[in-house]
Each structure stands twice: as structure tokens, then as C-alpha cells.
Structure 1
């Protein structure tokens, strides 16, 4: 009988980490989570023990990772804010990698992004590239997964596109909307992560779904499925950002950033490789059409409120 292994998942009470943890538990592994939200409501109960990240106390981080076979790292921040920055996220992740090495973790499965580059002027993509390079040099076995866009019941991007389609009289797209996105279902991604955790070899994998959309086509498809098709208006990136900024003030969140617009329009959320996911976004939205976009999903609320479960 195969011995029960101990695995660590960052953010198991959140989005991607939750699905990874669920799969690991179904495989009869023991799971701990590293999180800034140890008191967040969750459905795991006492099946998962939660530890603070303790980035500022590396010795405690090392202690919490003792005996871990595989570390699944989903930790990151979407944008710079007074409460968090990409720079700090890079620093904290490097601390996590070093703690894992010192604790004797056998493998790290790390979530990156499509098309990271050390030369990128976009801090998100440049920071992800730095982490990939440092992980490869760490001496710990690794699998680097590069998703473009994740979707699922707790996601933000796809949900909020649907929410805007339900609320706005017209839908603005940046430029002509011809740049591509390749969304992958979060459970498919989690299954890939767990599979990679079992492999001995190092790997870097583009994690994309079976459908490729232009951004404009994505808006049209979601609108058609949920029955809220709206006229699509081409706007300049600046006007698109200003529109998003105004909506941000209304919802008390950050709807979109200049960096996100530039990354999207630079076709950085698409790659020319075979899909790893099997679930089609179009089918998933159809099945969940009575849920998607009914409520706005706030990034900042999740960061500030560390007790409520993510809305589904």
C-alpha cells in the first residue's frame, strides 16, 4: 500500500489552491496550506491545517514545510496596490522557494503565466520570469505551469465580463479586440498540477484550454450564451482604462490596469501549443449561465476580508 504523503498548497482557501487541495485529499494525501487567511471560511474543516506564510520569519516557514513531499505554489498578486506589490510578491516567493529547499521539499509545482520574459516592460510578466529562473536554479525539482486565463465558479475575469455584459448598454473593447485569450478550467488546471507533482522530471508547460478566442470573440460568445449580447465598441486603450477606472470607483475595486490592457493587447495570453485542458469555456458558461456574472467579484474585497469564503 502506497504511503500517505504530505503536500502543501498555498492559498487552499482561495481559488486555484482550493481545487488542487480537493484533488490531493481525494487521492488520500495529507494536505496543509500556507495562507494569509487562516481564518477564512472553507469547506475543508479539520482536513487541512493552515499556517501563516511567515515571509518575514523564514525559520517558521521552513518549520511549516518540514516533511512536505510537494509544494504547490499559487501565491501571487494581480496588480500593484498600497497593500501589496509585484516586487514584494517576487521577494516573498523567493523566500518560499528557499524555505522549501531548506525543509527538504522534494518538488515544487509553480504557477506562472504564458509568455513570461525577463525583458518585459510589464512587471507582472517580468516578475514571473524572474521566479521561473530562480526556481530552476534552486536545486529543487520543479514543474512550472503557465496558464493564460483561469475560469471557474470563483474566478474574477470571466465572471466580471459577464457582469459588465449584464449591466452596460454597450461593451468597450481595447482597440479592435483581435488579440487572443486561451482560458483553462480551474479543475483541469488543478488536475494537471497534481499530475505534475507526481512526476520526477522537471517540466515547463503552457497550461491552456481547448478553445482560443479573440478578446472580441470572447465577449460575443459570453454575451450570446447568457442572453445579454451588447453592441461592442472599439475604444483606445486610454479610453478603455478610463472607463474601467470609473467603474472601479463604483465597485470599490480595480477592474483593469494599464499593464493588464497592454499585456492583453500584446497577445501575451495566448501561445501556439497544444491544449492541456479539456473543458470548453463555452460549455461551462452554458451550464452556469444562471450564475456567471450575477454578482461582481471583487479582487480587493478578497484581499481585505480574510474571513469570508470566496463567493461562488
Structure 2
């Protein structure tokens, strides 16, 4: 593989892509950021260059990737909303992968999700599976990294759970809360991606942390390390989802979709592979718990409403 010092990352101003960009810059790499908003304020200053996705013009998209050796792809959406759909996200990813191939990119590191399957009843996981398949068949060297739940200060899920724990007297647990998940840190996810890029063979790897927790254990842990006194209340899943919609009405957001709840309760955020991460969520919370949940972070305001379309 021909060595180049320039790598491309999608979403370096967002979450997982930000941690990948940090790691690459720390390693002395030059970073090209593909983003919906090149003018957005960010932490990197002049250390990286940003260009728009340009899905509407594949030639421009391909030209923007010229000189990059590896493309780290984190592009995806959390749920269908307005013109934002999983089907369109798959089409856009196909355009991105084709542009990378035409630009001479040598390797793609694609960030997927655990338990992505073409026959999944959940559109999120079906879409992720479709993207995995097009990466496998694109003709380029590739690595597919499948995280479970990625935890970090920018994670909306953990932050907003803690916000509710801090600001409401009750916290609703869907069902009995005994369904499991296996969180991994954002830093270790980025490290896995960068190490995967340095290999030559095609590979597929789950990114999961060392501990498997039930959801109720997760919420209790968050309570302990953030000083919350909220009472945990257990409701049937349908009622809990209705409560989340009420919270969404108050916050002008979608706090939890029905598909997300089903995926959580079906334990799709647990890996059958040996843990790839070593950082325990509880240890991380001891250091960072006080920083979580001081304000609510809206998914719609962060990733949907500022943009008219994702085409």
C-alpha cells in the first residue's frame, strides 16, 4: 500500500469522527474533514481542512478526496426524520465510497454497529448492513468496525439520561431493565479504527468494552456518579415510550425512537466477540460524571434542523 500522510474523516466536528481526527492529528497525520457544515465552530483551528459532502455532485466529491490514503467513514443518521431517511443515507454512502475509489483512496475504515443484519426488522440495523455490503464490494481494501454504545462527553444518550436524572424526580425504565448493553469508550473506538487502517488485510471487528451491564445497572451507575436522587420507576415499554415522547415534547426533540428502544431491549448493543476495549464505564464516570447532564442536548437541533436535507 502506498503511504500518504493525508487521511479523510467524515464528521470530525461531530462525535466518533472527532475522536478519530484527534487521534490522527496526534499521530502527525494531515486530516481532511468531510462535513455538512464546513463553517461550523470547532476545536481544531487550522489543523484540518474541511469540505462539504457534495453528494449532489459526485465529481466534486471525488476531487475533494484526492490525495487521501484512508477514508474513515462515520456518516449515518440516528433515525428517519422529514427528508432524512436511512435509504437516502445508504445512497449517499454509496456515492461517498464510489468517490473515494475514483479519487484513488486506498483503504476505507467504516464505522458500523454491532448486530447489523440485512434481515433485521429494524431499519437502522438493516441500513447499516446494506452499507457494510457495499463497502465489502467496493473493490478497495477495507475494515469494518462495529461499535456497541460509544460513551464520551459528546454522547447524547448518556448526557440526556443524566440530565433527566438531575432535573426530574423520577426516571422511567422501560420494562424490567434487565436487557444488556456493552459500552465502549470513544477514545478506544477511535484507536481501533486507526489501528485497523494500518493493516493491509480486510477485516471486520466488533468494538465493545469489558463490561456487560443491564440497563437498570447502567442507570444506577449514572445516578451514583452524578449525585442524582431521582427514583427509578419501571413501566411497560409502550408506556415508557409514551413518557419519552412527552419529554420530547417538552424539549422539542426526539429523545428515544421506538426502534431504538426495541434494539436496546433485544440486546443488539452486546457483542459475541471478545472485548476490544479495556476502559470500564464506571472508571470513566468517576472522572467525568460531574460533566454530564448539566444541560440537555437536542439531537434535532444538533444534527437535523440546521440542515434542510442530507442529499
Output the TM-score relative to the length of structure 1.
0.95
Q: Distance in 2 between matches of 1:71 and 1:282?
A: 32
Match of 1:151 in 2: 151
The answer to whether the 8 A contact 2:115-2:125 is kept is yes
Q: CA deviation at 1:305?
A: 6.8
* Higher mean C-alpha displacement, 106-115 vs 276-285: 276-285
Q: Distance in 2 between matches of 1:220 and 1:290?
A: 15
Q: Distance in 2 between matches of 1:305 and 1:257?
A: 17
Residue by residue, what CA displacement relative to the aligned partner does 1:68-89 show, whole Å, maximum 9, x if unpaired? Answer: 1000001000001014111111
Tell me, yes or no, if structure 1 residue 263 matches structure 2 residue 263: yes
Output the TM-score relative to the length of structure 2.
0.95
Match of 2:253 in 1: 253
Tell me, yes or no, if structure 1 residue 66 matches structure 2 residue 56: no
Runs of 5+ in structure 2 lacking a partner?
none
Q: Distance in 2 between matches of 1:241 and 1:132?
A: 30
The answer to whether the 8 A contact 2:3-2:69 is kept is no
Q: CA deviation at 1:149?
A: 0.6
Q: Distance in 2 between matches of 1:149 and 1:89?
A: 20
Provide the secondary structure at the position in 1 that maps to 2:8.
strand
Provide the secondary structure at the position in 2 that maps to 1:289.
helix
Q: CA deviation at 1:142?
A: 0.7
The answer to whether the 8 A contact 2:169-2:229 is kept is no
Tell me, yes or no, if structure 1 residue 32 matches structure 2 residue 36: no
Residue by residue, what CA displacement relative to the aligned partner does 1:18-41 show, whole Å, maximum 9, x if unpaired? Answer: 111111111111110100010110
Q: CA deviation at 1:254?
A: 0.8
Q: Distance in 2 between matches of 1:146 and 1:75?
A: 13
Write the mapping of 1:166-205 to structure 2, written as runs, cut at 5 A: 166-205=166-205
Match of 1:102 in 2: 102
* Cα gap change, 1:129 to 1:4, in 2 (>3 Å): closer
Q: CA deviation at 1:272?
A: 2.2
Match of 1:296 in 2: 296
Match of 2:225 in 1: 225
Write the mapping of 1:42-121 to structure 2, written as runs, cut at 5 A: 42-121=42-121
Residue by residue, what CA displacement relative to the aligned partner does 1:141-184 show, whole Å, maximum 9, x if unpaired? Answer: 11101111111111111111111111222221111111111111
Q: How many residues were matched structurally?
A: 306
Q: Distance in 2 between matches of 1:60 and 1:238?
A: 46
Q: CA deviation at 1:17?
A: 0.8
Write the mapping of 1:119-158 to structure 2, written as runs, cut at 5 A: 119-158=119-158
Match of 1:310 in 2: none
Q: Distance in 2 between matches of 1:173 and 1:63?
A: 49
Runs of 5+ in structure 1 lacking a partner?
308-312
